[in-house]
Structure 1
Amino acid sequence: MAGPQKRRSGGIPRGLATTGPVLFSYGFRPFFLGAALMAIMVMALWILALTCGLPVGGSYGAAHWHAHEMLFGFAPAVVAGFLLTSVPNWTGRLPVSGRPLMALFGLWVAGRIVLLQPDLSGIGIAIAIDSLFLPALLLIFAREIVAGRKWKDLKVLIVLALLSAANIGFHVAALIGEHGGLAQRLAVSAYTVLIMIMGGRIIPSFSRNWLNQRGEKLFPIPFSTFDTVAIAGGAMALGGWTLLPESHLTGLIALVAFGLHIVRLKRWRGHAVFAEKLLFILHTAYAFIPLGFLAIALGTQDYLGANSVLHVLTVGAMATMMLAVMTRATRGHTGRVLAGSRTTTFSYASILLAALLRPAADLMPNHMTTLYAAAGLFWIAAFALFVVEYGPMLTRVRRVGLADR
């Protein structure tokens, strides 16, 4: 169990805050709640922008604002909450908590506020403020990983560096009036690589523990050379998609990655944990990784449009995995039983429907508006249900988590 705050070199207080707001006692609390509220707000405002012409984003542009806030507003908050909670477990160092956590969260919030109407502060100032958060995360985790000598986790820093670069690239494209397709694909690729890495760490481990508790004898296959090959193949496919999304070579590599990750997923025996939705959703979310590679391959042959390919990965793999991690981590680190409630199951069903309907909208132009609206409403429902059920866990009670025992 982590103790009260202490001072490390540099005078930064670390450790779980035992006084002050519960919300800032651990990294997952403010960032998971903030991410969920952000997901609801961005989608609601985007729907109003499409239907009523609401001028969100000012001169930055509503479409640019929507894409940016999903990729560089909502998603980094989930990543921050996950890593601020997990990295101390990896390194054995005390977590960032209390006032330093408030400052970091405040930096994220500031970026969201200024980009909502960037013309009020000046678009250059708004972009500068927004661009601070991801590098700040990078520096925090670099310090922790280097100090903890966990060299194998340096790959997380590479992902954060790519996201920082993609964010700046997206801003540059928006400023010159271009679509930030390259920056979008780079960001999505970085998140997908992170899911491939962390999914391989947590999904078979959590599944094995659950099966072992029930006396099962067949377990997920642990990390091996095959997993390294699968991750490398996936990274190559994503690199090709980022730089050459229409190349036939990209499509061929993506097909290979599709096969590798189908096999990888099968090795984790997801069907055996179907009864526990808190676990099964992790396997389901990961299934969108090979589906994303298949979509990339189909996109190179013009069978799928660029938006469909993008949303298989963003809504399917990224958002579903993020919601799955948010629910499980919140329960685990607040001392709750690791079992999905009916409300949690409904939130999973909602995000999966959004993940299926959003790419389908591009395939059925005659029903596009209806499918857009339905996907958006299911997205809002998924995160609204999270806020209703998990908001009180994150803000009201300071409990010792299962992971701290």
Structure 2
Amino acid sequence: MSPLLSIDEPRPARSPARPQWRAFTEMGFRPLYLAGCGWALASVLAWVYAPGLLRGDLPGVFWHAHEMLWGFVATIAVGFLLTAGANWTGRNPLHGNPLAALCLVWAAARIGYLVPGRNAFLVAGAADALFFLWGAAALGRSVWLTRNRRNYGVPLLLAALAGAHAAYLSSAAAGDYLGLMRAFNAGLICMAVLTLLIARRVIPFFAQRAVQGLKIPPHTRSGHWQLAAGVAAVALLLAGQAPAASAALAASGLIALAQWLAWKPWAVRRVPLLWILYAGYLGLGIGLLVAAAQLAGLVLRTAWPAHVIGVAGFSVLILGMVTRTALGHLGRPLRTDRSMVTSYALMILAALLRLAALPPTQASVALLHASATAWALALALYLWRFFPLMIRPRADAPQGAVRVAAARPAGPAPRP
């Protein structure tokens, strides 16, 4: 059974290669990691420092929430899954000009939400739906053709994200705030379920490869219960059953925290590529408990679950994943440098400052601005470090060839 991500320790490159279009569009992570992180940087700066630029039909906070979840987090997920799909199946789901076309569809959506007028809004919404459904179909085709049964459900989660996106925009257009929040929360939890599924596979796998002698139990049974609880929470949210959804979210969050403890976080404290992933998974688990408390009426402010899950969970975890997986698939040593560790520290600082800004105090605005600045610097460092690498062939690829690291497993396969 092939691993989710098989990343070989590379040999040093003999000489730097020139940028190549073929290399840039060889795998989904290359353009989509850059696009997602670049848009996350730009959109947060616009939201905090230049809200006057947001003149589309999706106003203010609704645009910000949509772009953070679907424009940033879900975009990175698509890039990751298109790349991981090559390892699951031995078939690259999307590459070359079709991948470039998918990215143009994504860009059309981002621009469309900023242009005034209902036509631009409709075009943007259709482009976003096409982006997610296209990604789901490409991944699903590879999974189906290779009969990769353990991953049959992953394309369906991407399709569910597209459905939640459509419900969100429909509610926004109709002025239905309750429907909009229901769709947003469903999309948020759907993304959390997908993230838990992937992270539970790869984090222990990465940790056992990096820390000599570290043994981590697979938690297969608890993972199945966690997945079932997450899917139930999404269904119950859409059905308007808040108390039952709260219980399902609490179960999923508690399982995540139990897994985190079983992964022996103290053993990875000296490995930045690992502790950043552990920090994000911890934030996600806590965020699910906060969401459960909010649905139960114990947390009154609706912004808390979104920001604990989204910033302390997704964003911290994403920065670690886009570093770790990119290094491996680019044929680079699996080591951090000063810029990478600095970006991790800045992202964690941004998360803490953003949470501190949630209570309405005199310091809230200053904390929000400080958080946005730290966020932008963290992502800018990532882009500065990785953009030159993403547009070039793998460091260990002869004559510019780009290898898909699926054919040669490197260690035991992570359990589902």
TM-score, normalisation: structure 2: 0.85
The reply to whether residue 282 of structure 1 matches residue 280 of structure 2 is: no
Deviation at 1:252, TM superposition (A): 4.1
Residue of structure 1 equivalent to 2:378: 382
Residue of structure 2 equivalent to 1:260: 255
CA distance in 2, matches of 1:248, 1:175: 28
Name the amino acid aligned to 2:102. L
Residue of structure 2 equivalent to 1:186: 186
Name the amino acid aligned to 2:368. Y
SS at match of 2:363: helix
CA distance in 2, matches of 1:344, 1:350: 10
Aligned identity (percent) is 29
User: Do the aligned partners of 2:109 and 2:123 also contact (CA within 8 Å) in 1?
Assistant: no
Cα deviation digits, residues 94-142 of structure 1 (max 9, x gap): 3422211111111111111222214295432332233211111121112
CA distance in 1, matches of 2:374, 2:135: 31
Please identify, of 235-244 and 106-115, the stretch whose mean Cα deviation from structure 2 is larger. 235-244
The reply to whether residue 151 of structure 1 matches residue 146 of structure 2 is: no
Deviation at 1:354, TM superposition (A): 2.0
Residue of structure 2 equivalent to 1:115: 113
Cα deviation digits, residues 207-256 of structure 1 (max 9, x gap): 11112xx3x2x4111242122223333444455556558x4444444443
Residue of structure 2 equivalent to 1:64: 62
Matches within 5 A, 1:139-288: 139-179=137-177, 180-211=180-211, 214=212, 216=213, 218-237=214-233, 239-240=235-236, 244=240, 247-288=242-283
Residue of structure 2 equivalent to 1:28: 29
Deviation at 1:80, TM superposition (A): 1.8
CA distance in 2, matches of 1:273, 1:90: 26
Name the amino acid aligned to 1:288. G
Residue of structure 2 equivalent to 1:341: 337
Residue of structure 1 equivalent to 2:44: 43
Residue of structure 2 equivalent to 1:74: 72
Please identify, of 262-271 and 193-202, the stretch whose mean Cα deviation from structure 2 is larger. 262-271
User: Do the aligned partners of 2:34 and 2:383 also contact (CA within 8 Å) in 1?
Assistant: yes
Residue of structure 2 equivalent to 1:11: none
Residue of structure 2 equivalent to 1:366: 362
Unaligned residue ranges in structure 1 (runs of 5+): 1-17
CA distance in 2, matches of 1:267, 1:78: 27
Q: Over the residues paired in the alignment, what is the CA RMSD in angstroms?
A: 2.3
User: Do the aligned partners of 1:55 and 1:62 also contact (CA within 8 Å) in 2?
Assistant: no
Please identify, of 248-257 and 164-173, the stretch whose mean Cα deviation from structure 2 is larger. 248-257
Number of matched pairs: 380
TM-score, normalisation: structure 1: 0.87
Matches within 5 A, 1:285-304: 285-299=280-294, 300-304=296-300
User: Do the aligned partners of 1:29 and 1:395 also contact (CA within 8 Å) in 2?
Assistant: yes
Residue of structure 2 equivalent to 1:6: none
Please identify, of 20-29 and 83-92, the stretch whose mean Cα deviation from structure 2 is larger. 20-29
CA distance in 1, matches of 2:249, 2:151: 26
SS at match of 2:217: coil
Against the structure 1 CA distance between its residues 244 and 148, is the aligned structure 2 distance closer, same or farther, given a 3 Å change threshold?
same
CA distance in 1, matches of 2:357, 2:235: 26
Cα deviation digits, residues 338-390 of structure 1 (max 9, x gap): 11222111111122122222233222433221222122112111111100111
